[in-house]
Amino acid sequence: MKGKVVLITGASSGIGRALAFAFGRQQARIVICARRVESLETVSQELTRSGIENVGIQADVSVEEDVRKLIDATIERYGRLDILINNAGITMRSMVLDMEPDVIRKVMDINFMGTVYATRYALPHILKTRGSIVGISSIAGYRGLPVRSGYSASKFAMNGFLEALRTELLNTGVHVLVACPGFTTSNIRYSALNSEGQVAGETVRDETQMMSAEECADHILKAVKRRKRDLILTAQGKLVVFLNKLFPAFTDRMVYKTLAREKDSPLSK
């Protein structure tokens, strides 16, 4: 990783922040982006104090022009791009019947179209370096989760997009990784949208029982080094993906019961 340029979207907290430190400790040069300037500056300063070369660039990945400028600024600063990590994401929590359709549009714009924009504008530069494109997806990209229909849809879309891209790039030397954490400690659940598209501001899961963002980032770093195509994390995540392939009806019931036990779950009403 020494000297490589790594661009991480959604890097102001959680897995994105942990990835910046994980790759930075390997002497990569880090470009972080996020919507909130204050949080971005805080992480950039933390990286600098740790001796990690970095630059923070404000960008909203759901805005195409922001992403175009982000890639241009990265190339202007470093002259190359080796690894793009599409990490920016948002989730939602609502039954479909109760939800405004615009909630799904907002989630898709950030999680899926953000990945499309960043990948498209980064691709010419990554082709030159034969680098890596990484999508931070989810178990929800393999198995639809009730009360998170929009989030699942966005991650299914990301998985299909990156799989198609990997096949297109088969003979170019570019590496494409789809990384799917299970439930991981991060701020994404605190920023989950409710049925009206408002930020709920709380988590409904016990965060102490989850894989840490730092552990997740270390697994992703190793997968990039080994140029793996897929990474599914946590025993629970691997089990769900396995069972869903072989016993989908059983998995329907299992997933329903598991998520019905969440705090204030509409499935339990």
- The pair phi, psi for residue 249, each rounded to 5°, is -65, -40
Q: For the chain, give the longest Cα–Cα distance.
A: 56
| Residue 223 Cα distances to 175, 180, 217, 268, angstroms | 11, 12, 10, 38
Rounded distance between C-alpha atoms, residue 148 and residue 93, angstroms: 5
> Cα–Cα–Cα angle for 148, 143, 189, nearest 5°?
35
CA distance 105 to 123: 25
Q: Is 120 exposed, middle or buried (0-12, 13-18, 19+ CB in 10 A)?
A: middle
The residues annotated as belonging to the active site are: 151
DSSP secondary structure string, 197-237? S-B--S--S-GGGSB-HHHHHHHHHHHHHTT-SEEE-SHHH
- Beta pairing partners, 175: 132
CA dihedral angle for residue 51, residue 52, residue 53, residue 55, rounded to 10 degrees: -120
Beta bridge partners of 31: 7, 55
Sign, CA dihedral 124-125-126-129, equals positive
